[in-house]
Structure 1
Amino acid sequence: MNILLVEDDKTIAAGLQYSLEQDGFFTIICYDVDSARHVIEEQLEQFSLCLFDLSLPDGNGYDLCQLVKERSDLPVIFLTAIDDEVNVVMGLDMGADDYITKPFRIRELTSRIKSVLRRYQNQQLGKQQVQPREYIEIGQVRIGTMEGKVYKQGNEVPLTALEYRLLLIFANHIGQVLSRAQLLEGIWDIAGDFVNDNTLTVYIKRLREKLEDNPQEPTLIKTVRGLGYKLGGDSYSTQ
């Protein structure tokens, strides 16, 4: 599998390229936004995943993530030295699938990469298996499982791949309390030490902001203190 790596530190980039190729990934390196743009515009279909450093000499990884997501549903992982909620939320809102904070262990990075790739493969398989005209309705929210879209009061609600994945997990267990561990396993397809628990909090927060009438007093995605979360609503139906 081919990976596009954008990292301005040539020493770090070389080390990552060597380690990733030892693990079976072929890596193309760009050292700035400008060169990465050319590769994305001309060769994006050749890649299976993108690794973007957030801080680059002529821009940032957010711009590159946006460019990728406009052209493809290719998974993106951010490499960042900044570990705060504001930057994490920005990256996830751009459509990023994960982030990893420097310094990190190469085994941690390869584990994240494999988890994201496995999840994408399962999503594609799931889309192929969905029967026509299937949908799930919870209150005012309608999930079109065939088209992979979500609507509220008839208006499409744009969700990132992981937000949609999380919502589907809830929708397949309506009324059931799901622990944080169960949700994380569903998002990443495997349970592991490398999953950042804070990321789940961010996803739930973003889903509430997009789907709830009042995110501060959620009625759709409810917190069950000490146990986890559950999807509720006045009514629901499937077809």
Structure 2
Amino acid sequence: MRYNIQYGDFVVLFISQVVELLIKILLLEDDDTISFGIEAALRRKGYECITCPSIEQGRECFSSDIHLILLDLNLPDGSGYDFCRWVKEQADTPIIFLTVRDGVTDITRGLDMGADDYIIKPFHIAVLESRIAAVLRRLPEDKQPVLVCGDISLNKDKMQGYLNGEPVTLTALEYRLLHILLENKGRTLPRNLILERLWDADGNFVNDNTLTVTMRRLRKKLNDTRHIVTIRGIGYRMEEIV
């Protein structure tokens, strides 16, 4: 069966002040054509998209740092309803159903078990993006109040960084840089992507030299931590030390 997902004519502008950097979306969809189109569109919007073709793989990929789940009802190893129920038993992660099943009973069943939205295929990718944005706007700001990597931690509520449990005095720019690195632990962040996130409060752009100096000072305040790794020619990565 072929679905016509129109996304080629949709122009995407990445606005870092509006889209949270690397929001993680878990997509459960067994149709390669559909999953490819959705994943490509979401990545252009600045989201991180993890695609799974089955419930089994979806369970393996699900974690507490997933911000949203896009869920097909008809999967090869079970029903999307079962996966939705499994998720809701352990977390309050938002779920949007994507399915050809357009019966009133199907829709009400999905919404009654806790889904945040129900989109019927075929759909325009712009509609999906708007529905995703609406759900994400309802997420509580304290969904992940404390970010941790080894002996480094950051409390978003208090806007305070810590090393071995002791407060570290950081400038506003150093704090934002540490926040970006911790929020994307394990992922290599290109310098230009970090720079887009480091606009100051007055809207002044932070240049490349400022990033280099800020990174050096942050590392020094964290006792030259080995958790922050320089990826030569690309950028930086915050990672656990094995």
Normalising by structure 2, report the TM-score.
0.48
Larger radius of gyration: 2
Q: Which structure carries more helix by proportion? A: 1
TM-score, normalisation: structure 1: 0.49
